[in-house]
Amino acid sequence: MNSRRSWIVFAVGVFAYMAAVLQRSTLGVAGVDAAERFETSAALLSALAVLQLVVYAGLQIPIGLLIDRVGPKLLITTGSAIMVIGQLVLAFAPSIGIAIAGRILVGAGDAAVFISLIRLINSWFQGRSVPLLSQWTGNIGAIGQILSALPFAWVLHNVGWTPAFAAAASLSFAGFVLGVAFLADRPADVPEQPRVASVKDAVRGLGTTLKRPGTQLGFWSHYVTQSSGTAFALFWGFPFLVSAVGIAQGTASVLLVVIVLTGLVAGPILGILTARFPLRRSNLVLGITATLGLVWAAVLLWPGVPPFWLIVLLVVSMGVGGPGSLIGFDFARSFNPIRSLGSANGIVNVGGFTASFVIMFLIGVILDAQFDAGWSDSLYDLDAFRLAFSVQYLVIGFGVVMLLRARRRTRRKMEEDEGISVGPIWVALLRKWKRRG
């Protein structure tokens, strides 16, 4: 454990994940070129981006089950290979129909990589390294987004569509080759866990995993922390910043990159806090969510156009939400046996993406409704956005209630099974303060 080999496995896995994030985010960068190339509307292209993510989220649980059945190596390598095919289809696609098929393949391949890697880390590392390395996985993977925003965009605009998508695909091809050569499901001296024998057993096992309060705590933690930033970065951030707040397009793009950069700083800090205070992980999640709620309230209630510093504060708080969501996988690890960790991670990963789609969709519906009713002068009016973004309080507020319920049941189970009693944080802090006094 934590040997030279385990670091090689980690490096190769993270490389494959970074390449997956690059493939995932290329179409966002190539949106305008795609609209011209396929002579299609922006609306259809954004639907295409959403479709890719729906495929990703829809496959999380089946892939989680497969991880427990066939092991993570096969899934990382197969996922990378499917993404290569998907991007090559897009590189040479003569029509939007073929491009859609390519993007579906990219979403399907992408779905296999992250949760397999988290599972692999749990086999090759132990103890406090696991939450730290999970954070580093998220962080290094985010570099894939920067690769698509900078070198990929440069090749696209200076060399052309086909070379750009083929070059991006070559990175996942390298991930595939390295994965075949260097990945292994577990260290040689660790005995193989009994694998799920049949589909019937797998489905029964999934039910048990789903029922565990700790899995549910992971799901709702991912749900409440990741959704605001994802809906903003993938869809609504740019029109809000440019059309509603009046920020220049270049500055708006930089602000979206700030979300990624903040994650790079916050991730390792959250990793250390998660490892150091395992009984306070839910407080971290709730603290991040409450901060997001407060900053959003300031933006939405600000009289007139919100000042630039407040917008920066908003993107920074959303940037902390990304690594915050990885705490969800740490709950899955703590409260599930290793043989069902793949499916538990799949369940957790559905949380944030489900909330993101719901928020993305409802914001669009509310903006349209206000425009159609004549309440707003333009679709992307600042006041229209105020009401539309408020829907996050309903969606995420629901998640917070569910998280608190799951936490109560998890704590009760910890007390019954292990005799560990976890009280409210303020009681613990007060006790500590009194002891010092």
Ligand X SMILES: NCCCC[C@H](N)C(=O)NCC(=O)O
**Least distance (Å) between residue 43 CB and ligand X:** 25
Cα(60)–Cα(352) distance, integer angstroms? 12
Give 120 or 414: the residue with its C-beta nearer to ligand X: 120
Q: Which two tokens stand for residue 246?
A: 């009046």
Smallest separation, CB 141 to ligand X (Å): 6
Examine residue 138 and tell whether it contacts ligand X (CB under 6 A): yes
Is 127 within 8 Å of 274 (Cβ atoms)? no
Stretch that binds ligand X, among 135-143, 236-244, 375-383, 385-393 (CB under 6 A): 135-143
Per CB under 6 A, 114 contacts ligand X: yes
Please name the residues in contact with 66: beta carbons below 8 A apart, sequence gap of 6 or more: 75, 112, 342
d(CA 173, CA 360): 32
Between 214 and 263, CB nearer to ligand X: 263
The least CB distance from residue 424 to ligand X, in Å, is: 27
**Which of these, 237, 268, 272, 271, lies nearest to 255 by C-alpha position?**
237
- Minimum Å gap between C-beta 114 and ligand X is 3
Cβ atoms of residues 221 and 328 within 8 Å: yes
Task: Return the structure tokens found at 60.
Answer: 């999380």
HSE value, Cβ hemisphere, 13 Å, CA-based, for 415 = 9
Position 27, amino acid: L
Which part of the chain contacts ligand X (CB under 6 A), choosing from 134-142, 250-258, 290-298, 364-372?
134-142
Among 175, 179, 263, 306, binds ligand X (CB under 6 A): 263
205 binds ligand X (CB under 6 A): no
- Cβ atoms of 22 and 141 closer than 8 Å: no
Rule CB under 6 A: say whether 352 interacts with ligand X.
yes
Q: Chain-centre distance of CA 386, in angstroms?
A: 25
Task: For residue 106, give both structure tokens.
Answer: 């990219």
Please name which of 179, 139, 162, 168 lies closest in space to residue 25, comparing C-alpha atoms.
168
302-331 positions binding ligand X, by CB under 6 A: 322-323, 325-326
Is there binding between residue 142 and ligand X (CB under 6 A)? yes
Q: Which parts of 331-350 interact with ligand X (CB under 6 A)?
A: 349
Interface positions, 264-303, toward ligand X (CB under 6 A): 267
Using CB under 6 A, which of the segments 34-42, 136-144, 289-297, 377-385 binds ligand X? Answer: 136-144
Q: With contacts defined by CB under 6 A, how many residues of the chain interact with ligand X?
A: 14
C-alpha span between 421 and 85 (Å, rounded): 51
Looking at beta carbons only, is 136 or 380 nearer to ligand X? Answer: 136
Q: Is 237 in the site for ligand X (CB under 6 A)?
A: no
Chain positions contacting ligand X, by CB under 6 A: 114, 138-139, 141-142, 226, 263, 267, 322-323, 325-326, 349, 352
